Amino acid sequence: MSDERPPVSWDALAQELAATRAQAGARDGADPATWDAVAAELAARVGERPAEVAEPAPVAEPEPLPELAPLLVVSKPSPGPPVESPAQPPAEPSPPVDPAALRGGLEALLFVADTAVDEVTLAAVLRCELPQVRAALTELAAGYDERGAGITLRRVGEGWRLYTREQYADVVERHLAEGQRARLTQASLETLAVIAYRQPVTRARVAAIRGVAVDGVMRTLLGRGLVREVGTDPDSGGRLYVTTSLFLERLGLESLDELPELGPLLPDPSTLLDHPDA
């Protein structure tokens, strides 16, 4: 259904106003001149703005879309027959290692190892094939068992490790126990005293105070667990040593503050002056 209205007819409007004026004047007795003035003013105002047929608002045309670059269509090549890679020449096997040399190398590596060593590591170090290492380890373990050696070779997890045989456990325990109970030599006690009172101290400083080399004594103290390393001296770069908690335990002390004063233990200076070697 259209919303458009027909244009206004000025003649029809004037006739309608005249008829309305005549009817109202006959009914109410109004002055016809008044109606003439009103009609004239209304006609003047309407004449200033003649009615126009409303036209529909123009529809805005959509803006053209920006041109897109043409898509590059890559056609997928049709699968062809598989291309065979050129055959690689087979790797040359490593030359076999002498069995005696292989067993000796395995024994040396397992002896110095602190943990179990896997077969791949042993083969890489000995530069031989993995099957050769496996066969040599099995042969080595069987040889220890056949002759009742004091050591045995066991597979632990993914590696191999040397152990002392169980039947000789009492011998090993007796050796370790007697070693811990052995008395320290006079040289060891003097070195330990220097470290206790001058710690942290380097080995060279201890040797300078005692006037003799202390390398062997230091190894003994370290092995007994009475001293330990704590770093290096920033000036000389030498290793610094201090006493351990085991040292305090053996002496019955709670801390180093309970060490006796050195003053009463030192000889009288006059005695040193009277000494012929002074």
Close Cβ partners of 195 (under 8 Å, ≥ 6 residues apart):
201, 206, 221, 227, 241, 242, 243
> Is residue 139 located within the same domain as residue 107?
yes
User: Are residues 265 and 212 part of one domain?
Assistant: yes
pLDDT for residue 251: 83
Residue 12, pLDDT score: 67
Residues 264 and 190 in one domain: yes
φ, ψ for residue 227, nearest 5 deg: -130, 165
196 or 277, higher pLDDT: 196
Asked whether residue 69 is domain-assigned, the answer is no
The residue assigned the tokens 């052995």 is 182
**Distance between CA atoms of 67 and 80, rounded to whole angstroms?**
38
Mean pLDDT, range 131-151, rounded to an integer: 93
Residue from 177, 189, 207, 204 nearest 243 by CA: 189
Residues 149 and 214 in one domain: no
Give the model confidence (pLDDT) of 230-272 as tens digits.
989 998 888 999 999 989 988 888 888 888 887 665 555 555 4
pLDDT at 200: 93
pLDDT of residue 160: 93
pTM beyond 0.75, yes or no: no
The residue segments making up the domain with residue 23 are 12-39
Please calculate the CA angle 143-147-151 and round it to the nearest 5 degrees: 75
For 54-108, the pLDDT digits (tens) are 455 555 555 555 555 554 444 555 555 555 555 555 555 566 678 899 999 999 9
When divided into structural domains, the chain yields a total of 3
Q: Look at the alpha carbons of 217, 223, 225, 227 in this order and tell me if their dihedral is positive or negative.
A: positive
DSSP letter at 69? P
**Encoding tokens for residue 35?**
């109606």
Residues 195 and 155 grouped into a single domain: no
Counting runs of H as helices and runs of E as strands, what totals does the chain give? 11, 6
Q: For residues 84 and 122, give the distance between their C-alpha atoms in angstroms, rounded to a whole number.
A: 37
